[in-house]
Amino acid sequence: MAIECLVLGAGQEVGKSCVVVTFGGGKRVMFDCGMHMGHHDNRRYPDFDRLLADGAADYTAAISCVVITHFHLDHIGALPYFTEVCGYHGPVYMTYPTKALAPLMLEDYRKVMVDHRGEEEQYSYEDILRCMRKVIPLDLKQTIQVDKDLSIRAYYAGHVLGAAMIYAKVGDAAIVYTGDYNMTPDRHLGAAQIDRLKLDLLITESTYAKTVRDSKHAREREFLKAVHKCVSGGGKVLIPAFALGRAQELCILLDDYWERMNLKIPIYFSAGLTIQANMYYKMLIGWTSQKIKNSYTVHNPFDFKHVCHFERSFINNPGPCVLFATPGMISGGFSLEVFKKWAPSEKNLVTLPGYCVAGTIGHKLMSGKPTRIDIDKDTHIDVRCQIHQLSFSPHTDSKGIMDLTEFLSPSHVILVHGEKPQMAFLKERIESELGMQCCYPANNETVSIPTSQNLKINATEKFIVSFCMDETENDPQKQNLNFGGDMPQGCRTEGVAEGVLLMEKSKTPKILREDELLHSLGMETHFVHFEPLHPSSIEVKHTGESAVQQSSLEHLDCE
C-alpha cells in the first residue's frame, strides 16, 4: 500500500497551497485550496483538471473532501472558484474561526481585484456565501468520520486565529498536513500543539527553512525604535499588513508602547474590515494565547485605545502618523495607493513585518533598496523612503520545523510552501540529523510514499506466559494461571519467546506455543518409534502431515 501526494500548489514556492493526498482504497483528501498572490493569470489557481486525469466524472467524484487549514488567501482563495465555478459539491471542513473570518478575507480580495484593479471577476459575493454554506466546522481535537474509512482531526497551529494542523487516517495509513504554523507563542496566539502520533508522512510548510530567528523581544524593540524614530522626525509609517493576524499582533504592541510613552501621534487602520475582524477576535477569545485569556476579564486587548479608523482623505494630511494598510504584500489595494504617495519622501518609512511572495512590490522592496519601482509600463514610483524589514511573520522558523518533525517522527517528510534553495538545505538536515526520508516536489508532481501495514495478532495465554518462564518454570500454579488479559505479577514485559504464527482463512491470526499447534488444528500427536539393532532405543516425535503418513510404520531395521 502507498500514499500518493499530488502537489497542485506551494511546490517549491509560497502561494496557492493545495496538496491532494490519495490513500489506499481510493480515499482522496484535498488539503487547502489557495491562490497565488503574485499572479493575475491562470497561474493564480491550482490546476484542478489534474484531479480528473484518472477518469473521474467530476470533481465531487474525484475527491472525498476538502480541508482548509486557515483563512489566508494562499490557502483558501481558490475555494469559491472550486466549489461554485468548477462544481465541487462534496464536504468542506475548516475550524469555526476560519469559517467566520474567511468570507471577510475573500470578499475584501474580490473587491480589490474587481472594483479597484478592474480585473475580470472570478467569483461573486454570492458565490462566496454559497461556498461557505457548504462548510462543516471543526473543533480542536474533534475526530470527524468523513466516511467509514477516512477520519480527520484538527490541532492548534498558532499562526493566525483558527489555524489548524490536520491529522488524516485511513486504515493503518496516517499523515499530518501542517498548513502554516508557529512553534513559539506571541502576544495574541499560543504555540502550535499536537499529540505524539504514529505517522507514515508529515507534510510541513517550510517558509523559513533556513532561518533561525533571534529573540522576539529584540525584534519588538527594533521595530518600536524604527517607528518612534520616524514619527519623531515628522515622518509617516506605512505598515502593509493583512487585516487579520499580524495587524492585531502589532497593534497590541504599538498600543501598549504608545500608552507607556504617552505618545499622541495617531495610529490608523485603513479598512473597516479590521473593525469587523476585531469583533470576531473578541468573540473567539478562546482561540487566543493564555495571556490574552487571563487578561480578558479585566480588559479586552483588542479594544485599542490609540488606534482609529483611517479615511482616504487623510493620505495627504501633514504631520506624522502610523498606518496599517491592506494587503500585506503591497500587491494592490489601499497599501499600494498609500505607497505611491508616501514612498518619494525620505522622512517616511515602510516597514514590512512578514513574508512577501515573489512578484509583489513587497518582495521587491525586501530584495534590496530600489530607487524606482515600475508598477506597469505607464506607472513608476520613485522610492526615497526608508525600508525596514523585520520578521514578525507567524510562520515557524527552521528550528521549529526540525522540532516538530523530530517530535512526530514520521517515516517520510514532504516539504511544501517554501523556496527551492532553502527547501534543499532543510531536506539535507532532516535526512542527516533525523534519519528520515524527505523530498520537496514541484507543482503538479506526484510523490508515492510506502506505508507500513499493521497486522493484529492474538496470542494464547501459554505463549504470553512463556515470557515469564524465569518466574514460573518451577511454579505449576503460575504455569496454569488464568489472568484474563492482565500480565501475571513479576512477568517480564520485554524479551524473546519462540512461537508459531497460525493464519487461518476468515480468522484473526494468532501466535501460540509449538506444543499447542496440533490441538489448535484439531489433530492428534503421532509418534514414530525406531528400534535399532543395538539395545538403546530412540524416540522421534513428529507433528503435522508427515507424521500422519508415517504413523503406520511400526519397526525399522537399521544397518
Residues involved in catalysis: 205
> 3-state SS string over 409-424?
CCCEEEEECCCHHHHH
Instruction: State the Cα–Cα distance between residues 234 and 228, nearest whole angstrom.
Output: 10
| CB 102 within 8 Å of CB 59 | no
Residues 213, 70, 105, 11, CA torsion sign: positive
Q: Return d(Cα 320, Cα 317) in angstroms, integer.
A: 9
Instruction: Count how many Cα atoms sit within 13 Å of the Cα of residue 83 in the half-sphere of its side chain.
Output: 27
List 204's β-bridge partners, or say none.
415
Q: Are 427 and 452 in contact (CB under 8 A)?
A: no
Assigned C-alpha cell, 384: 526615497
CB–CB of 376/337 below 8 Å? no
Q: How many CB atoms lie within 10 A of CB 125?
A: 15
Q: Say if residues 404 and 183 touch (Cβ distance below 8 Å).
A: yes
Q: Are 395 and 180 in contact (CB under 8 A)?
A: yes
Alpha carbon distances (Å) from 106 to 34, 94, 124, 246, 358: 11, 15, 10, 18, 21
- Tell me which residue has cell 506455543: 513
Q: Contact at 8 Å (CB) between 209 and 438?
A: no
Would you call 146 helix, strand, or coil by DSSP? coil
Measured CA to CA, the distance from residue 173 to residue 449 in angstroms comes to: 10
Q: How many residues does the chain have?
A: 559
Query: By the 8 A CB rule, do 288 and 314 touch?
Result: no
CB distance 394 to 160 below 8 Å: yes
Helix (H) or strand (E) holding 225: helix 216-232
Cα gap 267→250, rounded to integer Å: 11
464, three cell numbers:
504470553
| Interatomic CA distance for residues 423 and 441, integer angstroms | 10
Q: Measured between alpha carbons, how far is 557 from 174 in angstroms, rounded to an integer?
A: 63
Question: Cβ-count burial of 503 within 10 angstroms (0-12 exposed, 13-18 middle, 19+ buried)?
Answer: exposed
Which uninterrupted H or E stretch holds 334?
A: helix 333-342
For residue 203, the surrounding DSSP H or E stretch is strand 201-205
The set of cell numbers assigned to 277 is 475582524
Beta pairing partners, 312: none
Nearest to 342 by CA among 387, 378, 385, 389: 385
Selection from 90, 63, 64, 77 nearest residue 32 by Cα: 77
